[in-house]
Amino acid sequence: RATSNHKVKETVALELSYVNSNLQLLKEELEELNSSMDVYQNNSESISVPMIPLGLKETKELDLLVPLKDLISEHYGEEGVLFEKEIKEFMELRQAMRTPSRNEAGLELLMEYYNQLYFLDSRFFPPTKSLGVFFHWYDSLTGVPSHQRALAFEKGSVLFNIGALHTQIGARQDRASLPGLNQAIDAFQKAAGAFNYLKENFSNAPSLDMSAASLNMLVRLMVAQVQECVFEKMTLLRAQHNFLARLQLAQEAARVEDVYSLVHQTMTQAHVKDYVPFSWTTMVQVKSEHFKALSHYFAAIALCDCPVASDAELPEQEKAFIQFHVTMPEGPSLRVLLQDPEERRKLGKSHLKKAIMKHEEAMRIHGLCKILRKMDILQEVLSFAHKRSLSKYSEIDHEEDFFETGDAPDIHPKTHQKPEIKSPNFSQVKVTDLFHRLGPLSVFSAKNKWYPARRVHLMRGENGFGFTLRGDSPVLIAGVIPGGCAAEAGLKEGDYIISVNGKDCKWSKHAEVVQLLKSAGEEGVEIGVITLQGSEGPKAADKKAAAMSSGSGMLKSNKENNRKSLMNSKSASTLLVWSKKSKRSKKSTYGVPFTAVGDNEPMY
């Protein structure tokens, strides 16, 4: 579009078509890599249907040394070079986060970096100005790169990788044992929680894998994989082969079929189908058909292999069976059906007929996908289930059967363990602010601005220094007596004490600052202070004087000045929006009218 030269246009079109064909080849290779389940499957000899793990998002290296040093000098008025150690430590953490180990230690590393981003955001990302660095991430499904200046994109991508790592941990578990199954269930539930948290807290993501439609699909896929593990858990726990246990297994299998059908519908929607790997869509459809077949197989086994109900067992079996089918089967009454072996065989035969049809459909769909055909495990599972149903059918099929086998009604889906979407627990990995030397976040943050630090020399007068103090870390000058030493030296209400006689007091407690002031000799004391821009409140001299004259006692601590808890603060960004509302406390340092001095604030 930038030229009218036809020769240039032809050359560019040729180049673009070449790039496009290369992209298609890469996409196919990536799809195959994404579907290489063998990497993630366990080494157990028992057969389990493979699960779908998710590949991690890749990111480019990031050099923050110069931008952060510049901002420290410009915004905080500190020597940027003095913070090189902290900046390098943060960059090393980011580098390690790019290749986490596929275990709990890897999850902790990602969580540690995610939590550290909270501090980075609060310190270095002002709401009105960009830091000038780009965060580059690649789509986990297509490999397409995206970049943004917003730190929220970095946070979201790390959160996505937390979910993806949970899927890989879940897929690697040995699901032939109960502990392995429980660990797989936990991992997939946590993966669903991470993707769901991402969906609820992000909007306008630049990459497709983090779009609302994609995340919705991933949450449903994880829930379906949890449901499949629950079915496997039931087959391990229900070793007894009684009628009710087998009905429950049939209903569990129907539930798995139900959730996989929903995932398949989601995967084939317009906004999703173009970038979800074909092997995933096929695998989900195969599982849907496979578990439908299993639900009919277990229904047939319950009817044909279990003894006829005794009079004592009949009420309980009737109650279970009346809720078993979606529609009641045609034929005799429920009581007759449960007590007549021939009627049970007829209904069991119709369930087996449907099971065999569904097994064959699962195998047909499986054969359509080149990648799935390479997976011997899946082929083995489908083939075994099909042969088992065929064997059972030939066992109960009588030569003298002249009746036409009816169409068995579908089984009502029901589960005894509903999947739980477990949101990430960020507080489980404790981190300390790497840049804590800059001072408490309640004051020394990117969103606050203050006038250049002032050094004030005070001599103690007859009535002391002439001001009152409040709070901790940093200590606030709550009031200044007109005409006193502090007022003459230029101190104002709302100033924060950052040093006393050259000693840094940003993190000092109230009592520590008071002690430093009291220990001042005849030569006086030098106080370093800063004033927040926009914090100067209206004068209220009469109220101040009255309050100061009756000052007694000392305020223990000012909660508003303490660092805000990590978990109650969510960052905001102009480019990639966190839509979740912050639950900020109504008590805020910035809202305190600095002219008001309480009765319990002593005068110094």
For 293, phi then psi, to 5°, come to -60, -45
Evaluate whether residue 545 is within a structural domain.
no
User: Do 567 and 197 meet the contact criterion of CB atoms below 8 Å apart?
Assistant: no
Query: What average pLDDT score do residues 369-383 get?
Result: 87
Residues 6+ apart with CB under 8 A from 65: 84, 87, 88, 91
304 and 186 within one domain? no
362 and 259 within one domain? yes
What one-character-per-residue DSSP string does 6-65 give?
HHHHHHHHHHHHHHHHHHHHHHHHHHHHHT-GGGTS---SS--PPP---PPPPB-----H
343 and 412 within one domain? yes
What one-character-per-residue DSSP string does 300-341 give?
HHHHHHSPPPPTTTHHHHHHHHHTTBSSPPSSS-HHHHHH-H
Evaluate whether residue 431 is within a structural domain.
no
Distances 537 to 381, 545, 597 between C-alpha atoms, Å: 74, 16, 12
pLDDT value, residue 356: 95
pLDDT digits (tens, 9 = 90+) for 422-480: 999 999 999 999 999 999 998 999 998 888 888 988 888 777 888 889 888 899 998 88
Evaluate whether residue 229 is within a structural domain.
no
Domain that holds residue 106: 53-219
CATH number at residue 136: 1.25.40.280
pLDDT value, residue 156: 94
275 and 182 within one domain? no
Query: What end-to-end distance do the CA atoms of the chain give, in Å?
Result: 73
449 and 497 within one domain? yes
Note the maximum CA span of the chain.
118
299 and 395 within one domain? yes
276 and 154 within one domain? no
Evaluate whether residue 162 is within a structural domain.
yes
pTM score: 0.79
Evaluate whether residue 317 is within a structural domain.
yes
User: Do 267 and 273 meet the contact criterion of CB atoms below 8 Å apart?
Assistant: yes
Evaluate whether residue 573 is within a structural domain.
no
Which of 533, 561, 594 terminates a domain? The answer is 533
User: Do 555 and 179 meet the contact criterion of CB atoms below 8 Å apart?
Assistant: no
Query: What average pLDDT score do residues 101-123 get?
Result: 94
Evaluate whether residue 248 is within a structural domain.
yes
The one-character DSSP state at 537 is: P
pLDDT value, residue 344: 84
Query: What average pLDDT score do residues 553-567 get?
Result: 35
Residues 6+ apart with CB under 8 A from 119: 431, 433, 434, 435, 441
Which of 481, 509, 533 terminates a domain? The answer is 533
Evaluate whether residue 550 is within a structural domain.
no
pLDDT category of residue 239 using cuts at 50, 70 and 90: low
Torsion of the alpha carbons at 174, 253, 313 and 408, rounded to the nearest 10 = -150
Domain count, the chain: 4
pLDDT value, residue 362: 94
pLDDT category of residue 47 using cuts at 50, 70 and 90: low
Question: How many other C-beta atoms can be found within 10 angstroms of the C-beta atom of residue 306?
Answer: 18
Rounded distance between C-alpha atoms, residue 395 and residue 417, angstroms: 34
Element (H, E) at 288: helix 278-305
Q: Which residue has the higher pLDDT, 21 or 8?
A: 8
367 and 500 within one domain? no
135 and 78 within one domain? yes
Any idea which residue has 């807290």 for tokens?
Answer: 201
Rounded distance between C-alpha atoms, residue 280 and residue 225, angstroms: 13
Alpha helices in 306-450 (DSSP H): 314-322, 334-339, 341-367, 370-373, 376-396
pLDDT digits (tens, 9 = 90+) for 172-225: 999 989 999 999 999 999 999 999 999 999 878 888 999 999 999 999 999 999
Distances 462 to 388, 457, 482 between C-alpha atoms, Å: 100, 16, 14
pLDDT value, residue 390: 93
CATH number at residue 491: 2.30.42.10
* Tokens representing residue 551 in the block: 């000052």
pLDDT category of residue 487 using cuts at 50, 70 and 90: confident
Which of 533, 555, 589 terminates a domain? The answer is 533
379 and 248 within one domain? yes
Q: Which residue has the higher pLDDT, 551 or 506?
A: 506
Mean pLDDT score across all residues of the chain: 81
User: Do 214 and 288 meet the contact criterion of CB atoms below 8 Å apart?
Assistant: no
pLDDT value, residue 11: 72
Question: How many other C-beta atoms can be found within 10 angstroms of the C-beta atom of residue 372?
Answer: 22
Query: What average pLDDT score do residues 564-579 get?
Result: 38
Query: What average pLDDT score do residues 104-128 get?
Result: 93
Rounded distance between C-alpha atoms, residue 513 and residue 472, angstroms: 9
Closest CA to 472 of 555, 414, 533, 406: 555
As a whole-number percent, the residues of the chain with pLDDT over 90 amount to 44
397 and 308 within one domain? yes
* Tokens representing residue 139 in the block: 């789509």
User: Do 296 and 352 meet the contact criterion of CB atoms below 8 Å apart?
Assistant: yes
pLDDT value, residue 555: 30
User: Do 596 and 543 meet the contact criterion of CB atoms below 8 Å apart?
Assistant: yes
455 and 410 within one domain? no
